[in-house]
Amino acid sequence: MKTIFTSIRGKLLFYFFVFILLFHIVSVSIYISSSRLMDEYNTSFERFLLFNTISQQADALYEDTNAYVRDPSQENLNAYYAGRTDLSEQAAKLEESGAAKGEIQESNYLNLIDSLIENSEITVGFVLQDDIERYTAYLQETRNTASYIQENTLTLIDRELTEYQQFYADLQQRKEAFGIFTMFLFLTTVMIAVFFAFWFAAGLNRPLQQLSEAAEEVSGGNFEGEPVRIQSSDEMKLLGDTFNQMREDISMYVEEMKEKAEMDHLMKELELKHLQNQINPHFLFNTLNTVSKMAYLEEADHTSRLMESVSVLLRYNLGNIDKSVALREEVNAVESYFHIQETRFQGRVAFHMDMDQDALSVRVPRLVLQPLVENAFIHGVEPLEEGGTITVQINNEAEQAVVEVMDDGIGMTEHQLQHIFDPDRPDDDHVGHSTGLGLVNVRRRLQLFYQTDKVMEMTSVQNRGTRIRLYLPKQEPGAAGGGEG
């Protein structure tokens, strides 16, 4: 299931959202704290205003009442009612605002306001009844109550000032603490933002650095370096995997090109030697001389068979060397070669073949078996005065055919055996007289044909002989082997 972290765009949006969220948290925290401080300050300031207003309106209510007593006109009565209403509203505000904290002094203060309003109403009522004695007494009571309110107002304001000093000190401490908290919150937000920025940058830089180093290796011709491993699950991982696949494909392509170039080189070398030395003139002369003597000394049957063997060998050697053949065709050419040599040397050389017919259908490059037999004859058996024996044995296994070419000739030393396939050693020391091909050429063509290094083993004991073993896989050969013949 895809998440926002599976793309660089998603990561950027997420980090941006987190940063904006942190910024808003800081802003809201600052706003809330500032609002609380302002509310507390406004509440304290409103207490002063309320007390001052009530004190003024209480005095004004007494004056309105006294004015109505002296001149009981409708205008003065309306002024009284307006003053009473204003004082009642301010008293209600004082009670609703929570300024009254339930203390006795503040409760008495509210009771004095109620008493002032009540006494003023009674005074006005007796004025309407024209009861001079009573409204005079209640007017005096109203005056006294207004004076008490003035005194209590001063007392409460003085107390509020004392409490405000403590509140102001607390306010300063809270302001300092709030400043520290704000700075801490700001620094924390910045650190988190920086952390996210470095984290995101590192998440981009590390894969880019790996890709850059790997690209430098590829540009330097190194296609076998360690694959780029990117742990993220975004586009960078896709880029890394694509780069690894590209480098692997390039490496395979370059290797195929090298093998093809080497195969072409071997084929050109083979063609050149094939044209220049398909049958060594000395070998051809000896063979034809033998045919001539046989025609003179014997009946035509042996001569006919010998000429047929020469014809088979010539025809096979002149075939298309770019095409693969069945192992059976290689065996037929070797049998013709055996017959020619047996005829030439009249018993000095013995040839034996032991083969499993099921193995003869394996596809092989042309001219791989005959050069080995020629090598065994030229370098193993021919130098011996008493001659020797060459044996070709072909066994069929589950996954491959195994071909062994053995001779009981002069063999080789351990040093010679170790250096026979030395790349700096010329191949001319071990070439056949009819094919002109050496062991190195045969082995390398087999390796390219089957795409494996394990195609040939060679053992030898000095004065006892040499054994060459070929491993021919049964699976279809690769493109390096060419088409079928």
Residue 49 pLDDT level (bands cut at 50, 70, 90): confident
In a domain, 27, yes or no: yes
Q: Does some domain include residue 332?
A: no
Three-state secondary structure of the chain = CCCHHHCHHHHHHHHHHHHHHHHHHHHHHHHHHHHHHHHHHHHHHHHHHHHHHHHHHHHHHHHHHHHHHHCCCHHHHHHHHHHHHHHHHHHHHHHHCCCCCCCHHHHHHHHHHHHHHHHHHHHHHHHHCCCHHHHHHHHHHHHHHHHHHHHHHHHHHHHHHHHHHHHHHHHHHHHHHHHHHHHHHHHHHHHHHHHHHHHHHHHHHHHHHHHHHHHHHHHCCCCCCCCCCCCCCCHHHHHHHHHHHHHHHHHHHHHHHHHHHHHHHHHHHHHHHHHHCCCCHHHHHHHHHHHHHHHHHCCHHHHHHHHHHHHHHHHHHCCCCCCEEEHHHHHHHHHHHHHHHHHHHCCCEEEEEEECHHHCCCEEECCCCHHHHHHHHHHHHCCCCCCEEEEEEEEECCCEEEEEEEECCCCCCHHHHHCCCCCCCCHHHHECCCCCCEHHHHHHHHHHHHCCCCCEEEEEECCCEEEEEEEEECCCCCHHHCCEC
Q: What is the CATH number of the domain that holds 459?
A: 3.30.565.10
Last residue of one domain, picked from the residues 185, 200, 215: 200
Q: How confident is the model at residue 466 (pLDDT cuts 50, 70, 90)?
A: very high
Q: Say which amino acid occupies 48.
A: F
pLDDT reported for residue 454:
92
Domain termination residue (choose one: 200, 226, 242): 200
Domain containing 367 equals 348-422+435-473
Tell me the per-residue pLDDT of 408-450, one tens digit each, with 9 for 90 and over. Answer: 999 998 888 888 877 665 555 545 555 546 788 889 889 988 9
Question: Residue 182 belongs to a domain with what CATH number?
Answer: 1.20.120.1730
Q: Is residue 32 part of a domain?
A: yes
Q: Is residue 408 part of a domain?
A: yes
Has residue 145 been placed in a domain? Answer: yes
- More confidently predicted of 216 and 453: 453
Instruction: Count how many domains the chain has.
Output: 2
Decide if 277 is inside a domain. Answer: no
Is residue 111 in a domain? Answer: yes
pTM for the full predicted model? 0.47
The pLDDT score that the predictor gives to residue 343 is 83
Q: For residue range 383-407, what is the model confidence (pLDDT) as tens digits?
A: 888 878 999 999 999 999 999 999 9
Residue where a domain stops, chosen among 143, 172, 200? 200
221 occurs within a structural domain = no
